[in-house]
C-alpha cells in the first residue's frame, strides 16, 4: 500500500489530489518551478522539491526530474494529474522501472492512445465509428491539398499528441491549408514536444460528449456515464455538465458500450475518458481517448457520489473496483465552469498579474477547485485557468442557477476574467434550453457575453461608492480630526470631486456632506435622496433614491474594485495633474499580453495590408498573431524572434500608405 504520493503536476489538480490523499492517510510531495515557488499547492504538500526553471519544458515536462524528486523524498508512488506527463508513456515506464507505483494506466495503453492517429486506427479496428483522416507528416504542399480534397472541406488540422485545443486549426478552403498546417505543427511542437499533425473531417456544429471509464486489473471496466463539454473557446472547454441534455438512454448505452470496448482494446486500467463528437443528427464519432483524469471530472463525481482520485489510487495498488462503482447511477445534474484569467472581449487574450482577491461563494450544492488564492501571481508560463466552480442540483436548471449565482457573487480583483461571460451563458435561453454545440461562442458574440454585468447606472453608483470609501479612508488616517467626515467644505456650494477611468470612459464624481445630509452627482447628474450610512476603505453602506445597497471595496494603487449585487467594476483614479509624456508613436502596435516573440514576418520598409500578420507571440502555450490595422508601410520593427516582452511593449510601427 502506498504511504507517500508525489504529484508530478501543479496548481488546482495537485491540490485536488492532495485532498483525497489526506482523507486516505497518504503523505504528499509536490514538485514546483521557480514561477510556482509561492503557489498554494507547494505549501499544502507535506514536502516539496524545486525543479529549477519556469517553463513547462524546463520543469514539469522533464520526467527524470520528477522521478528523482520522488526517490529523494521517499515517495513510493507518482500521480501525474492531467496534462504535462500524464500521457507520457516513457515517464510512466520510468516510474515503474524505479520501483515506484504509477497511478495511471499501463504505459502500453498510454502509448496506444498517445498518438491520435494510432488511436483512430485502433478504434476503427475495434468497430468504433471514426471520422476520416490523413497523416500530414512529410507531405508536400500538393500532397496536403490532395489529401484535404479527398476528405472534403472543412477539415480540421489537429496535433497527434496532447490536447487542450493546441495545435488545432479549422480550414474551410484550400488557400489556408498550408499555413494552417505549418502553424499547428509549430504550436504542437512547443506545447507537447511533438509537431506531428493530421487532417480530419471537421463536423460542423457538433456536440462534444465524452464518457468516463474506470477499470481495474481484475477484469472490471465500468462506464460512469457521459459529460457534455460543448461550450468551448479555441477548442478548450469552458462549461461542462453531466449528464448531457442531448443524450437519451439508448444513446447513453451506445456511447458507454463503445467507451468500454475502447478501454478493453488497449488493456486499460485506471481512470480514462473516451471522447466523441455528436453530429447534429446525433451520430457519434470517436474523437480521442484521454488516458488520465480530466479537468472536468468533478461533474461526474457530483452526479455519481464517487471520488475518482480515490478509485485511481485503489486500482493503482492492485485492488479491485469497489462494488459502488458498478452500482453507480446518475443523481441530479452537475455543471462546471472554468474561470479563466482572460479577456473575452478581446479575443480571449490571456491576462497576467497579481490576483489581489479571489473569493468565490461556496454553499449548498457548490464546489470550488482552485490552484490560486488571494495574492497569487498569474504567470504567462501556464494555463490561464484560475478555478473550477461546480454546482450540483436536482435539475439542470437548478444547477445552472446555483452556478451563475456563485460566479456573479465572486470577488476577483487584479486580472481580467471570463466571469461575466460565464454568468451570461448560464442564464441565457440557449443554454437553459440545452441548445448548445461547439460553435456556441461563435453564434453568440463573446464581446457581448463578456461585457461587464454592471450597467451604466451601476457604474455610476460604484464610482460614488469608491469616492466615498476613499474619502473615509483618508479621514481615518488623517493626523487631525480623523473622525470628521471627508467632504466638508468651507464653501458649501462646492463639491469635492474625483474622476475615474473605466476603459475608454471617464466617470466624474462630486459629493459633499452638509447639515441636511450628503449631496452627490455623477457625470454632472445629481442623485436623489443620498444617505451615507457608513463608509470605510473596504465597504460603503449607501442609500440612493430610497434604495439601500452595500458596496465592497478593494483598492490597490490607483485602482479600486467595487463589488455589489449590481455587478463588479474596476475603476482607475484619474490623476488631477498628470505629467506630460511622449506616449507611443502614432501607428505603434503593442503586445496585448506578456509572452515570447515566436516569429517576425516583416521588415522595416515593407508594404503591408490591413489584417496582415506582422508578429506572432506565444503566451500560456497559445499563439497570438498581431496584425496590421491598416494598409501602410512598416516604419519600425522593435522586437526579434525569441525575445520576451511585457504587456504594452511596442512591437512595430505601421504608417499609412502614401
Q: What is the CATH number of the domain that holds 83?
A: 3.40.50.20
Distance between CA atoms of residues 105 and 92, nearest Å: 9
Distance between CA atoms of residues 204 and 206, nearest Å: 6
Specify the DSSP element, H or E, that contains 236: strand 236-242
Residues 6+ apart with CB under 8 A from 431: 231, 239, 400, 425
C-beta of residue 555 within 8 angstroms of C-beta of residue 537 = yes
- Boundary (domain end) residue, out of 573, 596, 617: 573
Q: Do residue 569 and residue 605 come from a single domain? A: no
Task: Residue 499: count other Cβ atoms within 10 Å of its Cβ.
Answer: 18
Structural domain includes residue 451: no
Structural domain includes residue 484: yes
Structural domain includes residue 376: no
Structural domain includes residue 478: yes
- Boundary (domain end) residue, out of 519, 545, 573: 573
Q: Do residue 606 and residue 561 come from a single domain? A: no
Domain that holds residue 510: 456-573
Report phi then psi at 260, rounded to 5. -65, -40
Q: Do residue 569 and residue 592 come from a single domain? A: no
- Boundary (domain end) residue, out of 201, 231, 251: 201
Distance between CA atoms of residues 333 and 245, nearest Å: 10
Which of 271, 87, 96, 278 has its CA nearest to residue 192?
87
Which CATH number goes with the domain that contains 166?
A: 3.30.1490.20
Q: Do residue 16 and residue 99 come from a single domain? A: yes
Is beta strand 517-522 parallel, antiparallel or unpaired with respect to 505-514? antiparallel
Indicate the number of domains in the chain: 4
pLDDT for 128: 85
Widest distance between CA atoms in the chain: 87
Q: Do residue 634 and residue 557 come from a single domain? A: no
Positions in the chain whose pLDDT score sits under 50 = 581-582
Which CATH number goes with the domain that contains 620?
A: 2.40.50.100
Whole-model pTM: value is 0.86
Q: Do residue 51 and residue 95 come from a single domain? A: yes
Structural domain includes residue 180: yes
Which of 42, 35, 58 has its CA nearest to residue 6?
42
Q: Do residue 596 and residue 541 come from a single domain? A: no
Q: Do residue 474 and residue 564 come from a single domain? A: yes
Q: Is 130 helix (H, G, I), strand (E, B) or coil?
A: strand
Q: Do residue 140 and residue 80 come from a single domain? A: no
pLDDT for 297: 98
pLDDT for 493: 63
Q: Do residue 594 and residue 532 come from a single domain? A: no
Q: Do residue 511 and residue 563 come from a single domain? A: yes
Q: Do residue 566 and residue 615 come from a single domain? A: no
Distance between CA atoms of residues 378 and 386, nearest Å: 8
Q: How far is CA 335 from CA 54, 290, 299, 385, 389, in A?
A: 33, 21, 6, 17, 8
DSSP for residue 422: H
Distance between CA atoms of residues 144 and 259, nearest Å: 32
Amino acid at each position: 500500500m502506498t504511504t507517500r504520493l508525489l504529484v508530478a503536476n501543479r496548481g488546482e489538480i495537485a491540490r485536488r489530489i492532495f485532498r483525497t490523499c489526506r482523507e486516505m492517510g497518504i503523505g504528499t510531495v509536490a514538485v514546483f518551478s521557480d514561477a510556482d515557488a509561492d503557489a498554494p499547492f507547494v505549501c499544502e504538500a507535506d514536502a516539496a522539491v524545486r525543479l529549477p526553471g519556469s517553463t513547462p519544458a524546463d520543469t514539469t515536462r522533464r520526467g527524470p526530474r520528477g522521478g528523482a524528486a520522488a526517490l529523494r523524498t521517499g515517495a513510493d508512488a507518482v500521480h501525474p494529474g492531467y496534462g504535462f506527463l500524464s500521457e507520457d508513456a516513457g515517464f510512466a515506464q520510468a516510474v515503474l522501472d524505479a520501483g515506484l507505483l504509477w497511478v495511471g494506466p499501463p504505459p502500453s495503453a498510454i502509448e496506444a492512445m498517445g498518438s491520435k492517429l494510432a488511436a483512430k486506427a485502433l478504434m476503427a479496428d475495434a468497430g468504433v465509428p471514426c471520422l476520416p483522416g490523413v497523416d500530414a507528416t512529410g507531405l508536400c504542399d500538393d500532397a496536403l491539398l490532395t489529401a484535404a480534397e479527398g476528405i472534403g472541406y472543412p477539415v480540421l488540422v489537429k496535433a497527434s499528441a496532447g490536447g487542450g485545443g493546441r495545435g488545432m486549426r479549422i480550414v474551410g478552403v484550400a488557400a489556408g491549408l498550408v499555413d494552417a498546417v505549418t502553424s499547428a505543427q509549430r504550436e504542437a511542437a512547443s506545447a507537447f514536444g511533438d509537431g506531428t499533425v493530421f487532417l480530419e473531417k471537421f463536423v460542423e456544429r457538433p456536440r462534444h460528449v465524452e464518457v468516463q471509464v474506470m477499470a481495474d486489473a481484475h477484469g472490471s471496466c465500468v462506464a460512469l456515464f457521459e459529460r457534455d463539454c460543448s461550450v468551448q473557446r479555441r477548442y478548450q472547454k469552458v462549461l461542462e455538465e453531466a449528464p448531457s441534455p442531448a443524450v437519451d438512454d439508448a444513446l447513453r448505452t451506445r456511447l458507454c458500450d463503445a467507451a468500454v470496448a475502447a478501454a478493453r482494446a488497449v488493456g486499460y486500467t485506471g481512470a480514462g475518458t473516451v471522447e466523441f463528437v455528436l453530429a447534429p443528427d446525433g451520430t457519434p464519432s470517436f474523437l480521442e481517448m484521454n488516458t488520465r483524469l480530466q479537468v472536468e471530472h468533478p461533474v461526474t463525481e457530483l452526479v455519481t457520489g464517487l471520488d475518482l482520485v480515490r478509485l485511481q489510487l485503489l486500482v493503482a495498488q492492485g485492488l479491485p473496483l469497489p462494488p459502488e462503482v458498478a452500482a453507480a447511477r446518475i443523481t441530479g445534474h452537475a455543471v462546471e465552469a472554468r474561470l479563466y484569467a482572460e479577456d473575452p472581449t478581446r479575443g480571449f487574450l490571456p491576462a497576467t498579474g497579481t490576483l489581489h482577491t479571489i473569493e468565490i461563494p461556496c454553499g449548498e450544492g457548490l464546489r470550488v477547485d482552485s490552484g490560486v488564492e488571494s495574492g497569487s501571481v498569474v504567470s504567462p508560463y501556464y494555463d490561464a485557468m484560475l478555478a473550477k466552480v461546480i454546482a450540483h442540483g436536482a435539475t439542470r436548471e437548478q444547477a445552472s442557477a446555483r452556478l451563475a449565482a456563485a460566479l456573479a457573487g465572486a470577488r476577483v480583483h487584479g486580472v481580467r476574467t471570463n466571469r461575466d461571460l460565464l454568468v451570461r451563458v448560464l442564464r441565457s435561453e440557449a443554454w437553459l434550453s440545452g441548445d448548445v454545440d461547439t460553435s456556441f461562442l461563435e453564434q453568440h458574440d463573446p464581446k457581448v457575453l463578456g461585457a461587464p454585468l454592471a450597467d451604466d447606472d451601476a457604474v455610476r453608483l460604484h464610482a460614488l461608492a469608491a469616492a466615498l470609501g476613499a474619502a473615509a479612508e483618508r479621514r481615518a488616517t488623517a493626523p487631525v480630526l480623523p473622525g470628521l467626515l471627508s467632504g466638508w467644505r468651507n464653501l458649501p456650494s462646492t463639491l469635492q470631486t474625483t474622476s475615474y477611468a473605466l476603459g475608454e470612459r471617464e466617470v466624474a464624481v462630486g459629493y459633499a456632506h452638509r447639515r441636511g445630509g450628503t449631496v452627490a452627482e455623477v457625470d454632472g447628474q445629481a442623485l436623489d435622496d443620498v444617505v451615507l450610512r457608513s463608509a470605510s476603505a473596504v465597504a460603503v453602506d449607501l442609500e440612493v433614491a430610497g434604495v439601500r445597497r452595500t458596496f465592497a471595496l478593494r483598492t490597490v494603487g490607483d485602482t479600486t474594485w467595487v463589488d455589489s449585487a449590481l455587478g463588479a467594476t474596476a475603476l482607475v483614479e484619474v490623476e488631477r495633474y498628470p505629467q506630460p509624456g511622449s506616449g507611443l508613436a502614432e501607428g505603434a502596435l503593442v503586445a496585448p499580453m506578456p509572452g515570447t516573440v515566436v516569429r517576425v514576418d516583416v521588415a522595416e520598409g515593407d508594404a503591408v495590408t490591413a489584417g496582415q500578420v506582422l508578429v506572432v507571440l506565444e503566451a500560456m502555450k497559445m499563439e497570438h498573431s498581431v496584425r496590421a490595422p491598416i494598409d501602410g508601410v512598416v516604419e519600425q520593427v522593435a522586437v526579434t524572434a525569441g525575445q520576451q516582452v511585457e504587456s504594452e511593449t511596442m512591437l512595430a510601427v505601421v504608417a499609412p500608405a502614401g
